[in-house]
Structure 1
């Protein structure tokens, strides 16, 4: 991971982030990299929220990975603060380099720094490779997630 930095994303990073979100079978059907307006608006809201941490991995001036870490303050689990990881992506030409593991380690360290007792994520049922990746990192499939479009 030579010359690699993980830093808070900026508005200028949104096109690269969206490109990574759209660069797989599932993302290609649900993202629209041609229309950045909704992504820029959502980024502005998230960036203003101190509980949202959208970051990019940058190497030699190029964005090659991203994730979003959300801190959730709740009452369950003895009022434990937890971190939710979403949108973990590594640029296609960087997959298999260890960058995904590096980003997940970064997210765990950041979550601890922010006082979180637990880190969690969801992964689409179709992402079996991702499931194996997370399990290798010590994550356990302890819950079934449900979603409903509104």
Structure 2
């Protein structure tokens, strides 16, 4: 995949990122690609926070993948810093190409570079293919997660 670049996302990438976020059954219910204004505001918050790393994978000048990596300093685990991988999406035409593996490997290496001792992620319980993918990359299902909509 020598023709692939993983780089920080720019505001110009938002339309493609949001389209990928919306391109699955769960995303179709919660994303609004027709109105980018909330995404623009969110992008500005991310861009101004050095602990946030929103990246895109680009091939032939086209955004084909994305993820967000958040670095979290903490007191637990003897003051360990951890990272959280979120919003992993691969363009439909690129699924199964190995691009997801490359993006996750990038996130793990960046986490190491940032001094993290733990990388974590969550995945909706219905995404069984994603669960197998993460397990194949060495992640372990270790916690039960909870959410509360506000």
How many residue pairs get matched?
Answer: 150
1:94 alignment partner in structure 2: 94
Structure 2 runs not aligned, ≥5 long: none
Report the RMSD for the aligned CA atoms in angstroms: 0.5
Residues in 2 aligned to 1:128 and 1:3: alpha-carbon distance in whole angstroms: 30
The secondary structure found in structure 1 opposite 2:116 is coil
TM (norm. structure 1) is 0.99
Tell me, yes or no, if structure 1 residue 9 matches structure 2 residue 9: yes
The secondary structure found in structure 2 opposite 1:46 is helix
2:21 alignment partner in structure 1: 21
Q: Extract structure 1 runs of 4+ deviating beyond 6 A.
A: none
Structure 1 runs not aligned, ≥5 long: none
Residues in 1 aligned to 2:61 and 2:32: alpha-carbon distance in whole angstroms: 25
Residues in 2 aligned to 1:128 and 1:16: alpha-carbon distance in whole angstroms: 25
Residues in 2 aligned to 1:37 and 1:149: alpha-carbon distance in whole angstroms: 21
Q: CA deviation at 1:2?
A: 2.7
2:149 alignment partner in structure 1: 149
1:58 alignment partner in structure 2: 58
